[in-house]
Amino acid sequence: MTYEINTADDADTLVGDLARAGRKAQRVLARMSDADKAAALKAAAASLRANAPEVLEENARDVAAGEANGLTGSMLDRLRLDDARLEAVASAIENVASLPDPVGQEIDHSTAPAGMKLVRRRIPIGLIGIIYESRPNVTADAAALCLRSGNAALLRGGSEAVHSNRAIHAAMVEGLASKGVPEAAIQLMPTQDREAVGGMLRAAGLVDMIVPRGGKSLVERVQNDARVPVLAHLDGICHTYIHSAADPEMAREIALNAKMRRTGICGAMETLLLDAKFPASADVVGALLDAGCELRGDKRAQALDSRIKPASSEDWDTEYLDAIASVAVVDDVDDAMDHIAAHSSGHTDVIVTDDEETAAIFLAEVDSAIVMHNASSQFADGGEFGLGAEIGIATGRLHARGPVALEGLTTYKWQVLGSGQARA
Amino acid sequence: MTYEINTADDADTLVGDLARAGRKAQRVLARMSDADKAAALKAAAASLRANAPEVLEENARDVAAGEANGLTGSMLDRLRLDDARLEAVASAIENVASLPDPVGQEIDHSTAPAGMKLVRRRIPIGLIGIIYESRPNVTADAAALCLRSGNAALLRGGSEAVHSNRAIHAAMVEGLASKGVPEAAIQLMPTQDREAVGGMLRAAGLVDMIVPRGGKSLVERVQNDARVPVLAHLDGICHTYIHSAADPEMAREIALNAKMRRTGICGAMETLLLDAKFPASADVVGALLDAGCELRGDKRAQALDSRIKPASSEDWDTEYLDAIASVAVVDDVDDAMDHIAAHSSGHTDVIVTDDEETAAIFLAEVDSAIVMHNASSQFADGGEFGLGAEIGIATGRLHARGPVALEGLTTYKWQVLGSGQARA
C-alpha cells in the first residue's frame, strides 16, 4: 500500500484515518487486564527475538543507505543493531511488562456532601503520537510504554531507520496480536512524507498527546507547530550551585560528575554557580579544567584560575552538551536563585551544601521540574528515579514534569457512587 | 493610562509586559506562607466590603449602559450587583481563604536506587489567564482561587462589566497590598480591545494556562486560537442510562432531576438511554413529559409515549441547555456504552441500576471526566464534590479533569535529597 501526500489535506485525511483506527483499538486496550497486557508485551518481545534475522537484515539496509548518504559516525552508531542490541530491546520490552500497571489505580477518594462516594481513578490518556529520530529502539520502547499504560500509539520514526522500524513494528504487532491486541493499537506511520508529521501535530481531538524524542530542532518544530498537547523538554540548562557551607570534596565530585560523566545528556551541568564565600572554589574549577572541561566565567570566576575564558552574555543561556561550562560567582543563595530564575530551562538545578536551612530554601523556591540537594544533576533520569523506564523528561508546567514514565501516560476520571441522590 | 492596540504586535507587547510583571509578582506569592495568603484574601474581602459604595456605583454605570444597549434580561441579571450579592462575593473570597493551601503538599515520596530521597511536592503553576464574560463575581472568584494556590492571574472580563470589574479589582488589590501581595499578582487587562485577548491566547511561555469562563462561543474561540494550554469544557452532552435492573422510582427521580432541576447547566442530562429490558420506561418518559420536558426519540422510544417527537441524527450530538432531551432505547449496557462513546462530550455520564456488576462495567469503561452510579448528573460541580470552590470543569485528557479547584491550579516538582551521590 502506498500513500501519496500532496497537500496538508491529504495528510490530515491519512492521520484522521489512522487516529480513528487507533482510538477504536484503544477502547479494546482499555478493557484489557494488567495480566493480559503484560502477556501481550512478553509475546511482542518473543516475536522480536524470533524475527531477529529479518530485523537485522532490514537494519543492514538502513545502515548501508546511511553510509552511502554520509551519515555521521554517531548517527550510524545509533542506527545500527546487532544481536546484543536487539536482545537489549527485547529485554527492555519485558522490563516494561514487569512494571506495575497504572490503569485502574485509585488516586484518592472522599465523600460528597450529599453522600456519594467519590473515587479518582487512573485511566489511559488515549492515543499517543511519538515523533522520533533514527533510533530503532525507540520504536519498541515507546510502543511498550504506551501499551503497558493502555494507550494506543502512532509512531513516526526517522527516515534513515525506516526499514528497521517497519521490521520491529511488524514483529511486535505479530506478538501482540497473538494475545488479542488489535493491530491498530500500535501503528507506524505508513509514509515518511514530512507533511504527515504536520498532520499529526494538527490532529487536536484525534491524537491526545505528542511526545517528541530526539534533538532540539525536532522538539522545537513539534512545540512550535503542535495543536496537540506536547510532553517534552527543549533545553537542559542545568545549574549546580556550590553554597558557602558545601563540603569541598563533595562539591568537587558533584561538579565533576554533573559536567563530565556524560557531557551530551540533558541532565549535564551547563552552569556552575560558586558562592563568593565558598573557600574551595579554585579547587572545583581546577578539577574541571584538569579533566579537560573548558570554562567560561564572569570576572570573579576568571580570578579563580587563569585558564578560565571570559563568558559572553549568551553563555548563560547556552546548552553546550559538550565539555564546556559557564561559571559565575554569586553573593549568596538569593543571588544564585536569581541567576537560575533568569537562565534555567526548568530541567534540573542543584545545590551543594551542608546547611540544611539553605538547602530547604533552594528546594522550595527554585521552580524547576527537578531540584536536587547534594547529588549530581546527571541523575535526572526515569531509571535513576526508580520509575523503571521513561518516555521522556518534561519541563512544561502542566500534567507531568521531570522524568515521565507510565503514570504520566495516564489521566484520571471521577467515579461517583450514589444511592439515588438527586440534587436539591 | 490608555492603551492603543492597533496591531497584533501591539497586543503581544502589552501582554508581554503584563505577563512579565505578573510572573515577577508570582515569585513573591510562591514564597508566601499559607497563613499569609489566607490573611491577604481576608483583607481583600474586607476591602471589597469597605469599597461597596464605589463598586455598586460603577456597577450601576455598567447596568445603565447595558440597558441602553439592549442587553437581555438574563444578561442584565448576571451583570447586576446589590448589597446582598456583593456580600456573597466577599464571603466567597473568605471561603477560598479558608480552604487548605495545596502549595507545598507532598504528593508521594520514594528512594532512588542510588539512595537519594525523592519527594514530589505541589507548587503553583505560575501565571493563569482568565477570560470571562460579563459576570463581575468571576473577577473576585478567579482572583481568589489563583492567589490561594500561589498563582498570579491576568483577568480579562467582558466589556459590559468593565467598570464593575475595575472597581472590584481595585478594591481587592488594595486589600491584598496591605498584606504584602505585590500589585501585579492580580492584574486586570487594562484595555477591552479584543486583539489583547488574542495576545493572551498566543502568549505561550508567558501565560502558563488559560481558563475561559463563559458560553460556548467564548470557549470555542479560546480552544481554537490558544497556543497556551486551556483548561475548559466545550459541551456538556451528559447521558443517563437506565439499566434493566434499575429501581423504577430511583430511575424516574434521577432522570427528572438530571434534566429538569436546572436545564441550563453543563451537568444537565441531554440524552436519556433506556434499556429495552427496563420495565418502567414509560413511567420515566411520562414523568419528564408531564414536567414539561420535550422529548425527541428514536423509533423504539417513540413507541413508549405518543408525545415523543422523532429525533434527527443531530439530536444525539446536541446540548439543548433547555427543557428538551433526546431519548433512545438501547439493547444492553454495551449498546449504551457504544452510544455514549459516539456522542458523549466526555463531561458526565450516569448509570442507574441495582446490579453492581453492570455498574462496575459502566464506571470502568465509560471514558468521561465524571461517571456516576445512581446519582444525578447535576451533581457535577466542585462545591457538590466537596472541593469548596471550582475554577471550572475540564473535559480535556491532560492535567486535571472534571471539577477543577485549587489542586488543579498546581503542578509539582521533584525534590531530590542526596548525600553526595555522583552517577556511576
Q: Which long-range contacts (CB under 8 A, 24 or more apart) does A205-209 make?
A: A206/A15, A206/A16, A206/A19, A206/A20, A206/A23, A206/A127, A207/A15, A207/A19, A207/A127, A207/A128, A207/A129, A207/A154, A208/A125, A208/A126, A208/A127, A208/A128, A208/B397, A208/B398, A209/A125, A209/A126, A209/A128, A209/A129, A209/B397, A209/B398
In chain A, residues with a C-beta closer than 8 Å to the C-beta of B114 are 375, 379, 384
Closest partner residue to B399 (CB to CB) among A123, A367, A399 is: A399
Neighbours of A18 (CB within 10 A): 25
Compare all CA atoms of chain B with the CA of A376 and give the residue at the minimum distance.
Answer: B422
Task: Let me know if residue A424 belongs to a domain.
Answer: no
Q: What percent of chain B has pLDDT over 70?
A: 100
Please check whether residues A373 and A410 belong to one and the same domain: no
Supply angle C-alpha B346, B350, B354, rounded to 5: 155
Contact B421 A374 (CB under 8 A): yes
**Pair (B137, B108) in one structural domain:** yes
Q: Do A116 and B30 touch (CB under 8 A)?
A: no
Chain B's closest residue to A417, CA to CA, is B373
Q: Partners of A370 in the beta sheet?
A: A348, B414
Chain A residues within 8 A of B365 when measuring between CB atoms: 30-31
Nearest CA in chain A to B362: A415
Could you tell me if B271 and B218 lie in one domain? Answer: no
The residue of B379, B387, B412, B419 whose CB has the most chain A CBs within 10 angstroms, and thus the best one to mutate to test that interface, is: B379
In chain A, which residues have their Cβ closer than 8 Å to the Cβ of B368?
A: 413
* pLDDT reported for residue B154: 98
| B400 part of a folded domain | no
Using a CB-CB distance cutoff of 8 angstroms, which residues of chain B are in contact with residue A208? 397-398
Q: Is B34 among the domain residues?
A: yes
Interchain CB distance below 8 Å, A247 and B209: no
C-alpha cell at A36: 493480559
How far is residue B274's CA from residue B284's CA, in Å, rounded to a whole number?
9
Q: How many alpha carbons lie under 13 Å from residue A325 in its C-beta half-sphere?
A: 32
Mutate to test the interface with A, among B416, B417, B419 (most CBs of A within 10 A): B416
Contact B398, B96 (CB under 8 A): no
Contact A208 B363 (CB under 8 A): no
CB A256 within 8 A of CB A157: no
Q: Please, which residues have CB within 8 angstroms of residue A96's CB and are 6 or more apart in sequence?
A: A41, A141, A144, A145, A148, A388, A389
Q: In A289-323, which positions are buried (b, 16+ CB within 10 angstroms) versus exposed (e)?
A: beeebebbbbeebbebbeebeebeeebbebbbbeb
- Is B69 contained in some domain? yes
Write down the pLDDT at residue B228.
94
DSSP state of A315: G
Burial grade of B298 (CB within 10 A; 0-12, 13-18, 19 or more) = middle
CA B113 to chain centre: 41
Whether B2 has a pLDDT exceeding 70, the answer reads: no
Chain B residues with CB under 8 Å of A397 CB are 125-126, 208-209, 229, 411
**Best B398, B401, B412 residue to mutate vs chain A (most A CBs within 10 Å):** B398
Total domain count for chain A? 2
Q: Is residue B54 part of a domain?
A: yes
Q: What are phi and psi of A180, to 5 degrees?
A: 90, 10
**What's the grid cell of residue B380?**
457535577
Whole-model pTM: value is 0.94
* Nearest partner of B366 among B384, B382, B385, B351, judged by Cα: B351
- Whether residues B183 and B294 share a domain: the answer is no
Q: Is residue B292 part of a domain?
A: yes
Picking from A397, A399, A401, A404 by the largest number of B CB atoms within 10 A of its own CB, the best residue to mutate is A397
Q: What burial class does residue B220 get, using C-beta atoms within 10 Å of its C-beta: 0-12 exposed, 13-18 middle, 19+ buried?
A: middle
* Chain B residues within an 8 Å CB radius of A403: 414
Nearest to residue A187, comparing CAs of A375, A387, A1?
A1
Give the model's pLDDT for residue A19. 98
The answer to whether position A398 is within a domain reads no
3-class SS string, chain B: CCCCCCCHHHHHHHHHHHHHHHHHHHHHHHHCCHHHHHHHHHHHHHHHHHCHHHHHHHHHHHHHHHHHCCCCHHHHHHHCCCHHHHHHHHHHHHHHHHCCCCCCCEEEEEECCCCCEEEEEEEECCEEEEEECCCHHHHHHHHHHHHHCCCEEEEECCHHHHHHHHHHHHHHHHHHHCCCCCHHHEEECCCCCHHHHHHHHHCECCECEEEEECCHHHHHHHHHHCCCCECCCCCCCEEEEECCCCCHHHHHHHHHHHHHCCCCCCCCEEEEEEECCCCCHHHHHHHHHHCCCEEEECHHHHCCCCCCEECCHHHHHCCCCCCEEEEEEECCHHHHHHHHHHHCCCCEEEEECCCHHHHHHHHHHCCCCEEEEEECHHHCCCCCCCCCCCCEEECCCCCCCEEECCHHHEEEEEEEEEEEECCC
Helix/strand/coil for A292: coil
Residues B371, B242 share a domain: yes
In sequence order, what are the beta bridge partners of A415? A119, B371
**Are A211 and A376 a contacting pair, CB within 8 Å?**
no
Q: For residue B79, give every residue at least 6 positions away whose Cβ sits within 8 Å of its Cβ, in sequence order, or none.
A: B59, B62, B63, B66, B71, B134, B135, B136, B160, B161, B164
Q: Using a CB-CB distance cutoff of 8 angstroms, which residues of chain A are in contact with residue B421?
A: 374-376, 379
Residue reference for cell 433547555? B322
**Residue A398 distance to chain B (closest CA, Å):** 6
Q: Residue B8 and residue B12: Cα distance in Å, rounded?
A: 6
Interchain proximity A414–B114, CB inside 8 Å: no
Phi-psi region of A11 (alpha: psi -120 to 50; beta: other; left: phi over 0): alpha
* Shortest CA gap A258–chain B (Å): 8
- For cell 529485554, what's the residue? A91
The mean of the pLDDT values for chain B is: 96
Cα-based distances in Å from A267 to A233, A236, A371, A407, B68: 11, 6, 12, 21, 61
Domain co-membership, B279 together with B222 = no
Query: Quick check: B422 and A261 CB within 8 A?
Result: yes
| B398 interaction partners in chain A (CB closer than 8 Å) | 125, 208-209, 229, 398-399, 411
CA distance A89 to A80: 12
pLDDT digit string (tens) for chain A, length 424 residues = 567 888 999 999 999 999 999 999 999 999 999 999 999 999 999 999 999 999 999 999 999 999 999 999 989 999 999 999 999 999 999 999 999 999 999 999 999 999 999 999 999 999 999 999 989 999 999 999 999 999 999 999 999 999 999 999 999 999 999 999 999 999 999 999 999 999 999 999 999 999 999 889 999 999 999 999 999 999 999 999 999 999 999 999 999 999 999 999 999 999 999 999 999 999 999 999 999 999 999 999 999 999 999 999 999 999 999 999 999 999 999 999 999 999 999 999 999 999 999 999 999 999 999 999 999 999 999 999 999 889 999 999 999 999 999 999 999 999 999 999 999 9
Show residues of chain B in contact with A412, CB under 8 Å.
401
Does residue B295 sit in the same domain as residue B260? yes
Using a CB-CB cut-off of 8 Å, the residues of chain A touching B378 are: 422-423
Both B225 and B286 in a single domain?
no
* Cβ separation B423–A116 shorter than 8 A: no
How close B279 gets to chain A, by Cα (Å)? 18
Q: Is A126 close to B397, i.e. CB distance below 8 A?
A: yes
Q: Where does residue A406 rank: exposed (0-12), middle (13-18), buried (19+ CB within 10 A)?
A: buried
Q: Are B161 and B421 in contact (CB under 8 A)?
A: no
User: Does B125 reside within a domain?
Assistant: yes
Give the per-residue pLDDT at B1: 53
User: How distant is the Cα of A63 from the closest Cα of chain B, in angstroms?
Assistant: 31
Q: In which residue are the cell numbers 520490552 written?
A: A93
Among B125, B257, B369, select the one facing A413 at the smallest CB separation: B369
**What is the pLDDT, as a whole number, of residue A4?**
81
Dihedral sign from CA coordinates of B16, B21, B24, B28: negative
> With b meaning 16 or more CB within 10 Å and e meaning fewer, what string describes B46-59?
bbbbebbeebbebb
| CA angle centred on B417, ends B414 and B420, rounded to 5° | 130
B75 plus B189 within the same structural domain: yes
Q: Which residues of A touch B254 (CB under 8 A)?
A: 420, 422
Cβ neighbors of A9 (< 8 A, separation 6 or more) are: none
Domain CATH for A150: 3.40.605.10
Per the rule left: phi > 0, alpha: psi between -120 and 50, beta: everything else, A77 is alpha
Strand partners, B233: none
C-alpha cell of A40?
501481550
Nearest one of B140, B130, B191 to B168, comparing CA atoms: B140
SS3 A64: helix
Quick one: which of A128, A108, A130 has its CA closest to A119? Answer: A108
- Give the model's pLDDT for residue B389: 84
> Do B409 and B363 fall within a single domain?
no
Q: Identify the domain containing residue A291 by its residue range.
A: 238-384
Q: What is the pLDDT of residues B220-238, one digit of tens each?
A: 999 999 999 999 999 999 9
pLDDT of residue A5: 87
Q: How far apart are CA A406 and CA A149, in angstroms?
A: 6
| B423 to chain A, closest Cα gap in Å | 6
Rg of chain A over all Cα atoms, to the nearest angstrom: 24
What does the pLDDT look like over B267-281, one tens digit per residue? 999 999 999 999 999
Contact A373 B413 (CB under 8 A): no
Distance (Å) from the C-alpha of residue B290 to the closest C-alpha of chain A?
18
Give the CATH number, domain containing residue A344: 3.40.309.10
H or E element at residue A260 = helix A248-260
Q: Do B31 and A365 touch (CB under 8 A)?
A: yes
**Residue A242 Cα distances to A251, A279, A294, B114, angstroms:** 6, 10, 19, 21
**Residues B178-220: tens digit of each pLDDT:** 999 999 999 999 999 999 999 999 999 999 999 999 889 999 9
Q: Do residue A194 and residue A297 come from a single domain?
A: no
Please report the pLDDT score of residue A218 as a whole number: 94
In this complex, which of A104, A113, A397 lies closest to B384 when CB atoms are compared?
A113
- Report how many Cβ contacts below 8 Å link chain A to chain B: 206
- Clarify whether residues B246 and B219 are in a common domain: no
